[in-house]
Structure 1
Amino acid sequence: MTATAKEAGRGERPSARERLLAAANELFYREGVQSVGIDRVIEHAGVAKASLYNCFGSKEGLVQAYLESRHERNSARILRVMPRYGTARERLLGIFDAQDESFHDPEFNGCAFVAASAEAPHGGAVEQASDAYRGWLRGLFTSLAAEAGAPDPETLGRQLHLLYDGSTLSARMDRDRTAAAAARAAAAALLDAVLPPERADAAPGRAPATPGPVAARRA
């Protein structure tokens, strides 16, 4: 349940910022950042036009906040499954299980960062937000690879990240909701080839220390 939904359940009215961000999440993710103008977001949110500029400064600021919220949502989904697994190897594969859950969400429409970046100039807020998310995900793969005893964690992390990216693209472009399962199987084969046997002293149920999700930018 989102923070806005929780507040509604308590009878609290969401703030203008929260309503704008919720509207941006719905419209930008479904239709694209460039296809949706700020007037539609404002109308959908039911706020005054001045509220957008007071809260985010510009459409670019709203897009950045939207992507940061997707970062929080995606990272929270991945970290939520980590306690299910007892070893670093299992947690590496668990990332693909979390991805599989997202593919079966009725609202799944591909990667928000890929879609936004395809339309954005280099060096802007969209690229910065996308880089932050991708750096977090690559860092998670790499830190778990190191914990699992990979001889070259950075290379293994990059390889697993490529499988993750390919799975996302296939799920969207091929409408293949089983893509994460196929990527997981490929990842398992890769881990079997490069990792040493799992250590007997691995702490079952212990989630790794990972970078926390990005905090929502306060405008």
Structure 2
Amino acid sequence: MARSETGTRPSEARERLLVTASRIFYGEGIHSVGVDRIIAEAKVTRATFYRHFPGKEDLVLAYLQAADQAIRGQVDAAAAGGLPAPDALRAVAASIAQGIQSAGFRGCAFLNAVAEYPDPDHPVHQAVLAHRRWFLDTVSTLMAGIQQAEAEPAAQHFVMLRDGAMAAGCLFDRALICETFLRGVDGLIRTHAARRP
């Protein structure tokens, strides 16, 4: 395991708590899971839990931060390499489709979380909004590489296609949903490009 700048190893207990909580929160929901279960499954003491996370909300925020970083990494990897904007958008869409078809898929972690935290002032709700703003801004930037004038509405359309595919992927044939999503994204890109002055 890598050492930090201070020479100490990152806490294995914290990582176990976060991995355990992430699996359970994503698979079963957040409010339905108590701290005691996470402590038991992570095989740590209550004192260890509270040393790393002052409360359950801190653990929920760490879970969403980890999910955010993972998605940012996927999007950055898909959009990297100097691809033209249309190809970068198609690569982002392909990475989303791959996620939908992965084992244990249960929808968007952020949409799932915000359904449990509807208060717009709650830190969890704010974390979801921050993630979604980043994603919309990222797609808007890519859309602007095709055609600037209507980049934001096109990006909002992309996000709605993604949200629909993530929701439908929990209910219906995932392969068919992904094929429909990718076709929709391709049509959006072509339409957006055709409006170029």
Of 52, 55, 59, which residue of structure 2 is paired with 1:58? 55
Query: Is 1:134 matched up with 2:132?
Result: yes
Contact 1:21 1:66 in 2 (8 A): yes
Q: Following the alignment from structure 1 to structure 2, what is the Cα–Cα distance between the partners of residues 85 and 98? A: 17
Q: TM-score, normalised by structure 1?
A: 0.79
> Relative contact order, CA 8 A, sep 6+: which one is greater?
1
The CA deviation string for residues 77-110 of structure 1, in whole angstroms up to 9 with x for no partner, is 2222223672101111211100111122112111
Q: Which runs of 5+ in 1 are unaligned?
A: 1-5, 199-219
Q: CA deviation at 1:24?
A: 0.5
Q: CA deviation at 1:173?
A: 2.6
Measured on the aligned residues, the alpha-carbon RMSD in Å equals 2.1
Query: Is 1:187 matched up with 2:191?
Result: no
Query: Is 1:86 matched up with 2:51?
Result: no
Q: TM-score, normalised by structure 2?
A: 0.87
The residue aligned with 2:46 is 49
Following superposition, which runs of at least 4 residues in structure 1 exceed 3 angstroms of deviation?
none
The residue aligned with 2:25 is 28
Q: Which runs of 5+ in 2 are unaligned?
A: 3-8
Contact 1:100 1:178 in 2 (8 A): no
Count of residue pairs brought into register by the alignment: 189
Could you tell me the percent identity over the aligned residues? 28
The CA deviation string for residues 164-215 of structure 1, in whole angstroms up to 9 with x for no partner, is 11111110132534323211211211221221599xxxxxxxxxxxxxxxxx
The residue aligned with 1:161 is 159
Q: Following the alignment from structure 1 to structure 2, what is the Cα–Cα distance between the partners of residues 160 and 174? A: 20
Q: Following the alignment from structure 2 to structure 1, what is the Cα–Cα distance between the partners of residues 75 and 175? A: 17
Contact 1:24 1:62 in 2 (8 A): yes
Contact 2:146 2:192 in 1 (8 A): no
